[in-house]
Amino acid sequence: MKRSLEKFNRLVDALQQLPTIGQKSATRLAYHMVMNDSFGALKLAHAIENALSSLRKCRSCGGLSEDELCSICSDERRNHELLCIVENAKDILTFEENALFDGRYFVLDSVEHLDISHLRDVVKSGIREVIFALTPSIANQGIILYIEDKLYDLDVRFSRIAQGVPTGVSLENVDILSLTKAMEDRVSI
């Protein structure tokens, strides 16, 4: 019996690898796909395949893009004097979904992989203010100091989003009002 459900179990296992999906949800989703909505499931599989084959990192900001330069970096109408440094590409989606910012972004990802000379080039392309939109934490405070130090000789102001973003909580989980306020009330550093 178990052998005959090998493929179903493999689907459950794969779904279970996704964040926030436990075994119960994975089983429910797999059952739904197989028994109730096989057309929707195929559409989902196709969308995943398509997204994976066409999405990449923007050459400039490191955000999600379908082209070499993302639609934000290539949008001339945006404010090209403001650069918002975020922890990951997902944070850009949070800001953009809620139209919280109209400047440019730079994805930090990890300090080990941070390309300082690339960041310097971006800043030198006309940025007047660098805004750190990082979750407050001791580690991030260290990162802010490190980056400030590396950009010290450039003619640029530094600010960070205001307190009100709780310590250790990632931006996607902060309510939009708090995040809007944190961006508006950003403080110079």
Q: Is 70 in the site for Zn ion (CB under 5 A)?
A: yes
Token reading at 44: 């989902």
Q: How far is the CB of 86 from Zn ion (least distance, A)?
A: 11
Point out which residues pair with 157 in neighbouring strands. 129
Q: Is 92 in the site for Zn ion (CB under 5 A)?
A: no
Q: How far is the CB of 118 from Zn ion (least distance, A)?
A: 12
Task: Kindly state the helix (H) or strand (E) to which residue 129 belongs, with its residue range.
Answer: strand 129-133
Q: Is 73 in the site for Zn ion (CB under 5 A)?
A: yes
Token reading at 153: 């000789």
Task: Kindly state the helix (H) or strand (E) to which residue 10 belongs, with its residue range.
Answer: helix 6-16
Q: Is 86 in the site for Zn ion (CB under 5 A)?
A: no
The smaller minimum CB distance to Zn ion, of residues 99 and 138, is found at 99
CB within 8 Å of 118: residues ≥ 6 apart: none
From the list 3-11, 70-78, 137-145, 162-170, the region that binds Zn ion by CB under 5 A is 70-78
Q: Is 106 in the site for Zn ion (CB under 5 A)?
A: no
Q: Is 83 in the site for Zn ion (CB under 5 A)?
A: no
The smaller minimum CB distance to Zn ion, of residues 69 and 145, is found at 69
> What is the distance between the alpha carbons of residues 93 and 96, in angstroms, rounded to a whole number?
5
In the region spanning residues 47 to 66, those forming contacts with Zn ion, defined by CB under 5 A, are: 58, 60-61, 63
Q: Is 82 in the site for Zn ion (CB under 5 A)?
A: no
Token reading at 83: 């650069």
Say how many C-beta atoms besides its own lie within 10 A of residue 67's C-beta: 12
> What is the distance between the alpha carbons of residues 140 and 161, in angstroms, rounded to a whole number?
12
Q: Which residues here bind Zn ion, judged by CB under 5 A? A: 58, 60-61, 63, 70, 73
